Amino acid sequence: MIDINLLKEASKKVLNNSYSPYSGIKVAAAVLTKNGNIYTGVNVENSSYALTSCAEKNAIINSIIHGEKDFLAMAVYTDSHLVKSPCGSCRQFIFEFSKDLQIYFYGPDYYNEFNIKELFPEGFSL
C-alpha cells in the first residue's frame, strides 16, 4: 500500500531548500520507488533563467543517483497558486522512466491528482 501522506510530507519537508530567488516560487517533489525509498528534489534557479531545474526533475535525478529508477508515485508541493501541474519539460523527464506514474500535486488550498498518461499522451520515447 502506498502511503501518499508520507510522500507529501517528504516533499513538504524540503520545500524551504528551494533555490528560487528569481521567481520566488518554491516547489518540492518526492518520488517513491519500488524498493520503498523516497527521494526528494526542489527547484533550483539560475541567473541565466533557462538553466533552472525543476523540483520533479531533481527528485528523479536524486533517485537515479542512488541507483533507483522504478517509481510508484510522485508528490509535488508548492507554496504558489500559479503552479498547478508539472511543466512540459518535466512531463517528458518523468515519461522517460514511468509510463504510468500517479502524481499528487499540492498547493495552497489546492490538490489534484494526475497520471503521466493523461499529462503526456502520445509521449516520445526511444
> Where along the sequence are the contacts to ligand THU (CB under 6 A)?
20, 23, 25, 27, 43, 45, 52, 54-56, 83, 86-87, 90
Task: Tell me if residue 68 is catalytic.
Answer: no
What's the CA gap between 84 and 102, in Å, rounded? 15
What's the CA gap between 64 and 61, in Å, rounded? 5
Choice between 32 and 94, CB closer to ligand THU: 94
Minimal distance, residue 101 CB to ligand THU, in Å:
14
Active-site choice (9, 45, 56, 96): 56
CB 105 within 8 A of CB 53: no
At 73, which amino acid appears?
A
What phi and psi values does residue 13 have, to the nearest 5 degrees?
-60, -30
Choice between 54 and 101, CB closer to ligand THU: 54
Minimal distance, residue 122 CB to ligand THU, in Å:
20
What's the CA gap between 126 and 107, in Å, rounded? 33
Report the catalytic residues. 56
